[in-house]
A and B are shown apart, each in its own frame.
Chain A
């Protein structure tokens, strides 16, 4: 068995890669149960990083902490060099850090297209003063956003469904909606919580391709994923979590050879 793999949880200091997100010694307990225990990790700018680990490892909890949905009890989180710990979720999102949810959460009674029209940031028409006194400008921006949303739906194969209520989509289509909707907010860092859960292999391949394309456009992605084939295929860096803390970090190849990861997650063999 090879023990040669280095498994630091942060980038080595000599590395030239920039860090967009840093989780530093974060601990979070639900009542007496410590779900995140002194956890640290870095996400590198422009990379697709996978966050893997057994069920209950604390991956979703960590996403919730980063996105501001749970208060930070200990430790700190910095995004683009600025501390975001303690900020409400909307303030974090306004800085370009956008998350999706493990269970699809559509705006059920709104159409697919309208779902995509919510996320864009800095919409003039979200201010009533503009709605009443600058209707032309609002309409102009609205038209641009509709164009963008329709292109997005086309890319994700949901164009035909644009007038459908979101609640009527199939489970897989809801995953597509979740991701295309998140992209409408032009994130700089996208946190995806199991984007391929319940998605058939062909569609998963397409989603994987989308994520790769996004990286090409300068987006950084941190994705929780159980499908290691996909992780192998698109993620340059893999972080393994177990029992509320990071266990290892490396490429998928390095991770596969990591003894602790094998016992904790991959299954001893």
Chain B
């Protein structure tokens, strides 16, 4: 297989994984209005849990220290990554959602992100500190015995299957009465509370589900690239996902996928391999940030709902028992 094709396959794999991350954030931010600026932390937790569950005992690997090391087969590490990230999401949610309103909650999550980042980086026995985990075994690689390029295709298919699963799950949530209540909380939490909705509980569930997506996405990511260190999950990465949501159209899962294609894939990943300017390798990363930032501002200015805005809810058509009351219509028109 030629190198361009392999490169496109790797981009597609990353795109599929990132869609899962974006949809999870969409459930929290797009649907429920939760400003979780620690989102990437949950991706990292999912990745580290999956990685350390899949790796053998740390004593068997030179130069790494980490907990667990269970050598568990796929997909157990991945599921555990999702579950632990989700549990951590509940913990953060309990602190941030119980009493704090949206703006303070946002600040609280920024703090959580900073604390977790520094803790994982500095406490080396946990996940090998700033060096992170490396050498995470690729799922089923030895069992399948595929060639390198065929294995790339196989993993692409695995990620595609996960993406499709999460897409349908997200759509189901979005179009259900549950999703409607989440949106109502985003629109006006007090009103929903006044209608008997346990808004704390709903927001906690949104937190748990979204963080589960993040955890599974992170797990797939570490199993694909086989390594992850804190440089890969700085707070900036959270904002890349927020940018993808806002530009694509938060609340609309198709729009979010489009935003994901545009921001993390085309601008972040694909531009990594552009030819460098001689003696100034900082230019492309800088340009990348300028472009994403400008795109974000242009969207907010001219199309605040995003390129593909949230769609109006659709309902089954039910005929009225009595014909429409035209007299009343007329009265309202007067008013």
Residues of A within 8 A of B (CB): 67, 69, 88-91, 93-94, 98-99, 101, 105-111, 113-114, 117-119, 121, 123-128, 131-132, 138-139, 142-143, 146-147, 150-151, 154-160, 163, 165, 170, 172-173, 176, 185, 199-200, 202-203, 206
Contact = CB atoms under 8 A, between A and B. Distances in A.
Most chain A beta-carbon contacts within 10 A, residue among B195, B316, B324: B195
Contacts of A163: 312
Contact of A93 (B188, B196, B316): B196
Contacts of B195: 90, 93, 98, 118-119, 121, 185
Interface of B: 172-173, 176-178, 180-181, 183-184, 187-188, 190-199, 205, 310, 312-313, 315-316, 318, 320-322, 324-325, 328-329, 331-332, 334-335
A109 B187 contact: yes
A157 B318 contact: no
B211 to A, nearest CB: 15
Contacts, number: 147
Given A110-B187, A151-B320, A157-B332, A90 B199 contact: yes
A132 to B, nearest CB: 7
Contacts of B205: 128
Contact of A118 (B192, B315, B320, B324): B192
B200 to A, nearest CB: 8
Given A90-B198, A118-B180, A128-B176, A158 B190 contact: no
Given A110-B187, A155-B325, A146 B194 contact: no
A126 B196 CA distance: 12
A199 B198 CA distance: 32
B313 A114 contact: yes
A155 to B, nearest CB: 7
Given A88-B193, A138-B176, A126 B320 contact: no
A202 B324 contact: no
A118 B312 contact: no
Contact of A142 (B177, B188, B194): B177
Contacts of A106: 187-188
Contacts of A123: 177
B194 A110 contact: no
Contacts of A142: 177, 315-316
Contacts of B329: 157, 159-160
Contacts of B192: 118
Query: Which 3 pairs show the lowest CB-CB distances between chains A and B?
Result: A125-B177, A93-B196, A107-B187
Most chain A beta-carbon contacts within 10 A, residue among B178, B181, B196, B199: B196
Contacts of A157: 325, 328-329, 331-332
Most chain A beta-carbon contacts within 10 A, residue among B178, B199, B328: B178
13 contacts: A93-B194, A105-B188, A110-B184, A114-B315, A117-B180, A118-B180, A123-B177, A126-B181, A142-B177, A147-B321, A157-B325, A176-B332, A203-B335
A111 B194 contact: no
A107 B176 contact: no
